[in-house]
Structure 1
Amino acid sequence: MDFNEVRPGYLKSSEKTIKIHISELKIGMYVSKLDRPWLETPFLMQGFMIESLDDIDAVAEYAQHVWIDAVGEEWVAPEERAAVKGQAKKVSYINKIDAKAEHAAAMDTYREARRLTRSLLDDLRLGGVINSEQAKSTVKECVHSILRNSDALIWMSKIRTQDEYTAEHCLNVCILAIAFGRHLGMSEGDLERLGLCGLLHDVGKMRVQPEVLHKPASLTEKEFNMMKAHTVHGRNLLMSSPGIPNSTIDVAYSHHERIDGTGYPRGLSSSGISEFAKIIAIVDAYDAMTADRCYSPSIPSTEALKIIFKDRGTHFDDRLGLEFIKSVGLYPPGTLVELVNGLIAIVFETNSKYRHLPKVIAVKKQDAKLEKNVLVDLSGVERGSLDKSFLIKRALNDGSFGVYIKDYREQGLALG
């Protein structure tokens, strides 16, 4: 049987690796290795399926030979096959304006959305109910910004204030979920519904005692059970608030369920977890890992994506986990990076063609602050206008080398 042929009801599974010339590459093949260093390419992970002729053309730009995995067959459960077949037709989006033009509007959108999110959570903390119209209005503004250009608002989501973690986390999950939904090709209506799920997924934490919610050490078993109860509290709060969609209630209740059935509160497995809940589970984990929390320091985006890659198929949905990694990219907007030449920079805008070569704002040379913040398009390395010392050496945690993202929001984006 040819390794590209798969019978109905079966999925491809790796058996052996074969070296081939790029001219032999076909749709359906799984590329596991290239003939050049991985970091010199825009591909997000070492290993991907060829799904279109465009994929073949993209690989051909960077390699003459590739290694592919010859594949056999693996049976897939009917409900999983049905989920794939039943997906809605994708909507294609393009950025209507560039990130620099969207930044001023995105900053205003983020400030107002953060204020409204804090107000929503404060009302709940004091025993009130959710103002559903206010929440929907907040999400709608975020959707509009992300549809104009997703990079600007994602940049804002990197700005953290530890004493406002829960409010900022809820808003950031909303923003990242909308951007992910855009990548998946969801309709504008579904983006608004998904964004509302992200904004309100953790409202149940307003019913968890502050000393447990903000404890800077490991929780006892009793305290952990109190924390896990936020999913039940969230469901109950949303059910008692008029105008909240059922999908939002479900996500608040189910976003800690795991694909392998080891999550909480009900121990659901993959087929019992909604698509929105699977998406918010991934986004929730990513935003939490990349933020400083009272009990755990942040890790760089690249490290968080590695964890999601490792835990796909157990904690997270396999397909959605891989799509999220593609959506976020190696260096999302707002990521602090160090270049090979020692420049410290903030990623300003992604590059759809060269994902490893974004536009960055250079702010520092190791310990010396630059006279001006300079916008540098790193794709110049590929075009020959910049040398290879402008490649990104590594992603950094916010605050490394004394550079904090929030300072640059407060100063404005004055570029030389």
Structure 2
Amino acid sequence: MIKHVPCQELKVGMYVHDLGVDWSAHPFMRSQFRLESEHDIQTILACGIRTVAIDTELGLDAPHAQTDEELQRQLDKEMLAVAQAKPIVVQQVSLQEEIGRARNLRGQATRLVKNVMRDARLGHAIRLEEVEPMVTALTESMLRNPGALIGLSHIKNKDEYTFLHSVSVGTLMIAFTLSAGFDIQTVHQAGLGGLLHDTGKALVPDEILNKPGRLTDEEFTIIKRHPMDGFELLRQSEGIDEIPLDITLHHHERIDGSGYPHRLTADNISTLARMAAIVDVYDAITADRCYHKGMPPTEALRKIFEWSKTHLDPDLVKAFTRCIGIYPVGTLVLLESGRLGIVVEHHPDSLLQPKLKVFYDTQKRHYLTPQIVDLSRPMGRGGADAITGHEKAEKWGIDLAKFN
């Protein structure tokens, strides 16, 4: 049984099932391991972690702790309440019209971030005149159809994770600030901040940044320097705005003061930095890395709801969920009919009735001719089905990239 235990009640011999924070907040090789010593417990406490999930079948029990089933029911209620709110949809063209342009833009943005990181490593200032047009182009794509770039953000090559993550965070920051009603200049600066937020990682040695095993305390300290290093690198760039500097420096701060580099609490963290923290975590935990498997988008949103109890701004978590949907574009979902489909577009009135590209029959276990299904349409018009939940592509041996 999985239970959630306050860290002050951890004991040697318990088996940690989930540390309850994103990978960048702890130095452990995995989020699942047996507590072998008091040092393990003290390391968890030093990371500012408040609660962890334990597996009582693999280690000691905590008889009075909340079970995972109880917590998930609570989180599902909170997410359902958000899902029943009217979604935020900005769309001028269809996904089919925008996806090709979005794919090209993403490739260009990835190459741009690579060049930025290379220049930073060589000690050169970042040339904003090369980066700003890309942010403008990403914003224009988001205004035409946000689902195109958001859907592509879930497709990442492990070897290029650092660059693709920066592009995804920039893209999601544009979507988030647009949906929250910020003026277009602020949207632009927030997107710029997202695109450049991890520039400081250019100064982290590759053997640490891509280490597949547990980080030493010294290596974790080096990793935690990247917000400050990035801030200093960006400050050398002529014409840099305060917003990208703030996002770069503070995207790892947490509202309970457990973040870094300055352990700021909620009142001292700007709204845009709190938004960037949510986006950064969401994209990180949905991506496959050399040391962990990415979560499906809906599962990641549930995890972010859980973390909003302590680490992330709860109101902004709800706003982010309304922005990308309970089932974000690119999510693999199972229908009552037994078919699988990918979310391709949100309905303007309901987050629970998106358009899907349906392509697989789980009962007969064979591929179908891809078909667009609008869950908001009545029986006989391609609808009359409903989502029962999200699925993991590897469970069915499916390569989602082929259907995006």
TM-score normalised according to structure 2 size = 0.75
Structure having greater relative contact order (Cα 8 Å, sep ≥ 6): 2
- Kindly indicate whether residue 398 of structure 2 is the aligned counterpart of residue 403 of structure 1: yes
Structure 1: 5+ residue runs without aligned partners? 1-37, 59-91, 410-416
Alignment equivalent of 1:316, drawn from 312, 316, 326: 312
- Does the 8 Å contact 1:338/1:396 carry over to 2? yes
Q: CA RMSD in A?
A: 2.5
Which structure's CA Rg is the greater one?
1
Give the 5 Å matches for 1:75-94.
Answer: 94=90
Q: Find the counterpart in structure 2 of residue 171 from structure 1.
A: 167
Letter in 2 for 1:374: Q
Letter in 2 for 1:369: Y
Give the 5 Å matches for 1:108-187.
Answer: 108-187=104-183
Q: CA, structure 1 residues 120+397, in 2 after alignment: closer, same or farther (shift >3 Å)?
A: farther
CA distance in 1, matches of 2:373, 2:127: 43
Q: Find the counterpart in structure 2 of residue 293 from structure 1.
A: 289
CA distance in 2, matches of 1:48, 1:109: 31
- Kindly indicate whether residue 375 of structure 2 is the aligned counterpart of residue 378 of structure 1: yes
Structure 1 residue 298 displacement after superposition: 0.7
**Is the deviation greater in 146-155 or in 193-202?**
146-155
Structure 1 residue 49 displacement after superposition: 12
Structure 1 residue 170 displacement after superposition: 0.4
- Kindly indicate whether residue 261 of structure 2 is the aligned counterpart of residue 268 of structure 1: no
Alignment equivalent of 2:79, drawn from 45, 49, 71: 45
Secondary structure at the residue paired with 2:172?
helix
Alignment equivalent of 2:389, drawn from 388, 391, 394: 394
Q: CA, structure 1 residues 107+197, in 2 after alignment: closer, same or farther (shift >3 Å)?
A: same
CA distance in 1, matches of 2:210, 2:242: 29
Q: Find the counterpart in structure 2 of residue 99 from structure 1.
A: 95
CA distance in 2, matches of 1:98, 1:240: 41
CA distance in 2, matches of 1:387, 1:175: 31
CA distance in 1, matches of 2:90, 2:221: 44
Q: CA, structure 1 residues 93+307, in 2 after alignment: closer, same or farther (shift >3 Å)?
A: closer
Question: Residues 102-141 of structure 1, C-alpha deviation per residue, up to 9 Å, x if partnerless?
Answer: 2222222222222222222233234433221111111110
Structure 1 residue 384 displacement after superposition: 6.5
Q: Find the counterpart in structure 2 of residue 201 from structure 1.
A: 197
Question: Residues 45-104 of structure 1, C-alpha deviation per residue, up to 9 Å, x if partnerless?
Answer: 244699xxxx7xx8xxxxxxxxxxxxxxxxxxxxxxxxxxxxxxxxx9742222222222
Structure 1 residue 44 displacement after superposition: 7.4
- Kindly indicate whether residue 327 of structure 2 is the aligned counterpart of residue 331 of structure 1: yes
- Does the 8 Å contact 1:93/1:182 carry over to 2? no
Secondary structure at the residue paired with 1:310?
helix
CA distance in 1, matches of 2:383, 2:359: 19
CA distance in 2, matches of 1:391, 1:328: 19
- Does the 8 Å contact 1:140/1:192 carry over to 2? yes
TM-score normalised according to structure 1 size = 0.73
Secondary structure at the residue paired with 1:291?
coil
Question: Residues 188-230 of structure 1, C-alpha deviation per residue, up to 9 Å, x if partnerless?
Answer: 1111111011101111111111111111122221111111011
Q: Find the counterpart in structure 1 of residue 366 from structure 2.
A: 368
CA distance in 1, matches of 2:195, 2:380: 43
Would you say how many aligned residue pairs link Structure 1 and Structure 2?
Answer: 327
- Does the 8 Å contact 2:374/2:383 carry over to 1? no
CA distance in 2, matches of 1:286, 1:120: 23
Structure 2: 5+ residue runs without aligned partners? 1-72
Letter in 1 for 2:304: I
CA distance in 1, matches of 2:182, 2:392: 31
Q: Find the counterpart in structure 2 of residue 351 from structure 1.
A: 347
Q: CA, structure 1 residues 360+46, in 2 after alignment: closer, same or farther (shift >3 Å)?
A: closer
CA distance in 1, matches of 2:118, 2:402: 26
- Does the 8 Å contact 1:44/1:355 carry over to 2? no
**Is the deviation greater in 154-163 or in 194-203?**
154-163
Identical amino acids, percent of aligned pairs = 37
Q: Find the counterpart in structure 2 of residue 236 from structure 1.
A: 232
- Does the 8 Å contact 2:89/2:348 carry over to 1? no
CA distance in 1, matches of 2:331, 2:96: 16
